[in-house]
Structure 1
């Protein structure tokens, strides 16, 4: 099985007619995704040729859902338009909105997250500023390279896009039920805890890799959740052990206050919850491999 995305998911792309939308639309189709439409109000009624596949463009998310049965939207929308695009997806009641866009103002993210919550969380938001989600051999919604790993029994949830890719490649011999990049902005939709809960409930996920990074307290809260609710083995990695003390780092969510938010504090919290934490991504992959192969 998989979490949040499977071979039956019908995907639309808000921003399909832009260069990034088309580029990654082709890659999603090549990965087996049922890409059923695009959304661009100015180009409604046209279509986009993606390597021989003709994908219709609709004027809005609601129309696209009605015409195609879509239940997932991937957003390649410029930052200044992203808030309205997410709100449109939420108002249409789509089940999953994957917000790839980087550089969305935190105020805008807070706004659309709050709007989704006020609407009963009918729409799960992944991101923003994330690589998306892949259930290998089934479907891809986002920009994760589909050829670096295959299907298997490992679940992966990561704040970092590049570390998502590295871990998938390192564990390509094991494979994944689903890999999800949740993004590292201060306000995101789907959290480590949401993914951990879903992997715990997925009968075909045997073990979980969780990748965090310095800043905030998401990993500490995830450690508390693991201790109380997760029976499957979890291994972890925290990016930022070598970050110089007192230096502001570039990632939007990498805000460290005193000892809170440091890599060491996160490592200690995870280990207290029974999570084995690797010192490097490769060591973490070796720990994860041992959970599957014994």
Structure 2
């Protein structure tokens, strides 16, 4: 993923309340939003951004698009994303929550066939501090630097970014991969992207209970990643069987994977085996990052 000051951005679902509100905030940050798409609203504008009925029309008028953000309603997200892929947009961020799982599966198959990177659904998006804001990250919490932040959580990501910034540790990028059980891109994909990113020196991985994505990420770090990684797991005090805020945050037995998969204990054990330091609280992350940077240098 190559995101810069000059990246050209399309907003699908721009007239949705969240889309309209964050279009203004992203443009204020300097993000180059060149067009919006909302069926039935072609010919209007949102915060000075021209709105079209179809993605093809937007590209014909605005020119090439580097990344599309989707704020469309849940049951129209699949159509919106497929329309963007057909228009050869290869970076798509889905902010919308509540996308039907089967729709996400269909989208992932299409994305894999076309080498399209999907972030989300149910994602706060991506921010490259000082360069570009794509989603709902509050820019005031972020500062440019060398810490790559990849997270399943939304607001917790903001809190950790603020703690890092207050400690003088800026961020190279912050990515919310999404809170749903089925996601377009995984921790492993983003760990590899950050491993290859010249601006990133240390990676902070923010997970939460439910599913096995953190266990898989820990194994991947041990096998593939050379840069130091710091981890934090949200929901460690939740009782077993408790449904959390995200669809994916469920402590449950997964067929063939053992009763402990998805629990905080399982994830902590996986990070321990991979020799990844784990913070007990978000406030501990800056000190662990400083230690990792010191050892690296």
Same fold (TM over 0.5): yes
What secondary structure, in the 3-state scheme, does the structure 2 residue paired with 1:208 have?
strand
**How far off its partner does 1:293 sit?**
5.9
Distance in 2, matches of 1:216 and 1:197, equals 21
Partner of 1:260: 261
Distance in 1, matches of 2:279 and 2:36, equals 41
Partner of 1:242: 237
Distance in 1, matches of 2:204 and 2:112, equals 27
What secondary structure, in the 3-state scheme, does the structure 1 residue paired with 2:210 have?
coil
User: Does residue 71 of structure 2 align to residue 76 of structure 1?
Assistant: yes
**Among 49, 58, 64, which residue is 2:58 paired with?**
64
Distance in 1, matches of 2:53 and 2:85, equals 16
User: Does residue 55 of structure 2 align to residue 55 of structure 1?
Assistant: no
Query: Once the two structures are superposed, what CA deviation does each residue of 1:131-186 show, in whole Å capped at 9, x if it has no partner?
Result: 00000111011010111111000000000001110111000121111000011211
Conserved? CA contact 1:64–1:70, under 8 Å: no
**How far off its partner does 1:32 sit?**
1.4
Q: How does 1:1-294 map to 2 (within 5 A)?
A: 3-48=1-46, 50=47, 54-66=48-60, 67-118=62-113, 120-121=114-115, 123-172=116-165, 173-255=168-250, 256-257=252-253, 258-292=259-293
Relative distance call for 1:241 and 1:61 in structure 2 (3 A) is same
What secondary structure, in the 3-state scheme, does the structure 2 residue paired with 1:41 have?
coil
Q: Which runs of 4+ in 1 moved over 3 A?
A: none
Q: TM-score normalized by structure 2?
A: 0.92
Distance in 2, matches of 1:125 and 1:84, equals 14
Query: Once the two structures are superposed, what CA deviation does each residue of 1:211-268 show, in whole Å capped at 9, x if it has no partner?
Result: 0111111111111111111111000001121011233334201232121111111111
**How far off its partner does 1:116 sit?**
1.6
Conserved? CA contact 2:164–2:285, under 8 Å: no
What secondary structure, in the 3-state scheme, does the structure 2 residue paired with 1:43 have?
coil
- Which ranges in structure 1 are unaligned for 5 or more consecutive residues? none
**How far off its partner does 1:93 sit?**
1.5
Which gives a bigger RCO, structure 1 or 2 (Cα 8 Å, sep 6+)? 1
Relative distance call for 1:293 and 1:60 in structure 2 (3 A) is farther
Conserved? CA contact 2:37–2:55, under 8 Å: yes
**How far off its partner does 1:41 sit?**
2.7
Distance in 2, matches of 1:207 and 1:69, equals 33
Distance in 1, matches of 2:4 and 2:248, equals 29
- Which ranges in structure 2 are unaligned for 5 or more consecutive residues? 254-258
**How far off its partner does 1:69 sit?**
1.7
Conserved? CA contact 1:171–1:289, under 8 Å: no
Q: TM-score normalized by structure 1?
A: 0.93
What RMSD, in angstroms, separates the aligned Cα atoms of the two structures?
Answer: 1.5
Distance in 2, matches of 1:202 and 1:161, equals 23
Partner of 2:256: none
Distance in 2, matches of 1:22 and 1:290, equals 42
